[in-house]
Structure 1
Amino acid sequence: MKLVCGKASQYLGPMIAGELGLELVETEFKVFPDGEQYLRLGEEVDESCIVVQTIFSDSDFFNLLLILDALEGNAEKLVVPYFGYARQDKKFNEGEAVSARVIANAVDRYISEVVTIDVHDEGISRFFNSDFVNLTAFREISREIDLTDPLVIAPDGGAEELASTVAEELGTDYDYLVKDRKSETEVSIQPKKLEVKGRDVVLVDDIVSTGGTMSEAISMLKDQGAGKIDVAVTHSVFARNALSRLYFNGANKVISTNTIEKSISSVDVSPVVAEYLKDG
């Protein structure tokens, strides 16, 4: 078995290969003047391969399709560290396309298993005929948290399981935020069960995009007397000025992984993926 890295996973892919002791397939990427992509494998591949490619952009998705086509049936496992478009897993309004289903339909025929990390909605597995595995990076993320006895908080009930995982690793308690609409113009955000006054807090979620929800949560928790507030996320989309917003609103530290390869990515997920692939 060999490993092929997509253009969006040029650092993470080789790290996974190193953990597994697999040879990398050399791949040539090129973009023509008109914007069309070109891909060529540097060798003839006649054995099963693991493909690693984050889907952070439309370009990443098409790059993945080119790799799968070039492998001509030899792509066995697909590792998608960040599964973009997973938030559009159903029609929220009449006439909408279901983007997660589009991606699943496009890649499913090439592979036997897809592996992802802290996907936004694990329900997208229903779009795949292939085996679907969702790993978590929050045990590794927990090791980067150095606050003393913090309260772990999810921004909503949907991320409560992530908060539970981190709290278990840290040996502390957890909660999630609820919105209480006081009037048409006033909304209060507060923990559902626990008091934050005087306690350090870790805010956890699978993804930060614009940073609006997290920034609002930081401000509200500060107003309620919280101490230091760390933000811990798996996928650092950080659109526009999201990172600046978090710090401006009072974040003490922002922790994220290399599922999306950015300079702020401090947690390596390659051991998480490799451990599963070794046993899988």
Structure 2
Amino acid sequence: MAIVFSFPGFEAIANSIAGEKNMQRGDVTVRQFPDGESYVRLNSPVQGQDVIIVCGLDNPDRKIMALMFFAHTARKMGAGSIGLVAPYLGYMRQDKEFQDGEAVTADIFAAFLSQMVDWLVTIDPHLHRHEKLNEIYSIPSMAIHANDLIAEWIRANINHPLLIGPDKESEQWVSEVAKKATAPFIILTKTRRGDRDVEVSIPDLANWRNHTPVLIDDIISTAGTMITTAAHLKDAGMKPPVCIGVHGIFAGDAYEKLLASDVEKIITCNSIRHKSNGIALENIIVTAVIKISGPDPKNLFGND
């Protein structure tokens, strides 16, 4: 028997998982003391049950200790297993030591989380130098993709779209969305000089003047690339772009700056709760959880 818990902000996804599999919904209290330390209390018994916790790991430094306390307490209370549904998975960017002494946080965080839970489901993690999550995670792990949902939204809402990917790394992903949306696409050349300093080069757009640009990226953090691209598109006489991101982090005032940069609309998936959410991920998450929480997820996903 399984029981589904959620950290604050992820109740809708947890409800969908529990409803589809006729599971019990667990109750947990998560809050912070005035000094920033975390308080966690499981208000539902978990003895002998398979526990599923839904907790996105945006702002991971604020959440990871509470998640660790939850997992430790669930095991102490007799949980049979603990699975994590993290719609957004943090600490995926630093996957290489670029300068001597740098922490390769993707590997370290993966090892830490792999000790905490028994399996992991996430959506479009920022895999760059790794092809699969199980190259760094030692537990059964499943990365699902929002491509179909994004393509479906584009088909339903935009006439004559032109998809625009932010850099060469995005080409395979953007091309798949474009194919499913039956839309053309182009890929930008991006030079990143710092966390907030981005230079973008755009190819000739003369043949696309009657199309609506759709800027698409897996993560919108500072929104620097989209803001710079929107300015170039305006100078080229293109229509205001629609901006789509799987994960809308919107660091600081990034959302307000992007809105003010002459864009038509900003749409994100609901992996991180935000006013821009317009693409629901519950159905694909439920399907993934049903697969990975089966009798032998280790064999199913090929982890050792």
**Residue pair 1:30, 1:38 contacting (<8 A) in 2 also:** yes
1:39 aligns with 2:40: yes
Q: Is the 8 Å Cα contact of residues 175 and 192 (structure 1) preserved in structure 2?
A: no
Contact 1:139 1:169 in 2 (8 A): yes
Unaligned runs of 5+ in 2: 192-198, 293-304
Q: Verify the 8 A CA contact 1:7 1:60 in the aligned structure 2.
A: no
What corresponds to 2:63 in structure 1?
A: 60
Any idea what SS the aligned residue of 2:153 has? coil
User: 2:142 is paired with a residue of what secondary structure?
Assistant: strand
1:237 is aligned, of 238, 245, 249, to 249
> For residue 175 of structure 2, what is the amino acid of its counterpart?
S
In the aligned structure 1, how far is the partner of 2:118 from the partner of 2:40? 23
Q: CA–CA distance in 2 between the matches of 1:188 and 1:34?
A: 42
- Residue 172 in 1 paired to residue 183 in 2? yes
Distance 1:143-1:188 versus aligned 2 partners, 3 A rule: closer
Specify the alignment match of 1:70 in structure 2. Answer: 73
Task: Summarize deviations over 1:137-188 as a string: whole Å, max 9, x none.
Answer: 23222333311121111111112233123212211122211259xxxxxx66
1:133 aligns to 2:105 (yes or no): no
Deviates more, 1:245-254 or 1:230-239: 245-254
- 1:264 paired with 2:276, answer yes
**One-letter code of the match for 1:129?**
S
Alignment of 1:34-183 (within 5 A): 34-45=35-46, 46-57=48-59, 58-72=61-75, 74-121=80-127, 123=130, 125-145=134-154, 146-179=157-190
Q: Identity across aligned pairs (percent)?
A: 28
- Code of the residue aligned with 1:94 in structure 2: it is D
Structure 1 residues 120 and 249: CA distance shift in structure 2, 3 A:
same
Aligned residues, how many? 274
- In the superposition, the TM-score normalised over structure 1's length comes to 0.89
Range moving further from structure 2, 109-118 or 212-221:
109-118
> What SS is found at the alignment partner of 2:247?
strand
Give, in whole Å, the separation in 2 of the partners of 1:98 and 1:242: 26
Change beyond 3 A, Cα 1:207–1:108: same
Is 1:226 the equivalent of 2:238?
A: yes
Deviation of 1:228 (Å): 3.7
SS in 2 for 1:201: strand
Taking the aligned partners of 1:20 and 1:226, their CA distance within structure 2 comes to 47
Where structure 1 has 5 or more consecutive residues not aligned to the other structure, the ranges are 181-186
Bigger shift: 48-57 or 72-81?
72-81
Shift of 1:192: 8.4
The residue that corresponds to 1:3 in the other structure is 4
Deviations, residues 16-73 of structure 1 (Å, cap 9, x unaligned):
3233332111112232233221111112212112221111121112221112112215
Cα RMSD between the aligned structures?
A: 2.3
Following TM superposition, by how much is the alpha carbon of 1:8 offset from its aligned partner in structure 2, in angstroms? 4.7
Change (3 A) 1:71 1:191: farther
1:157 alignment partner AA: K
Distance in 2 between residues matched to 1:105 and 1:269, nearest whole Å? 27
For 1:70 and 1:204, the matched residues in 2 are separated by 40
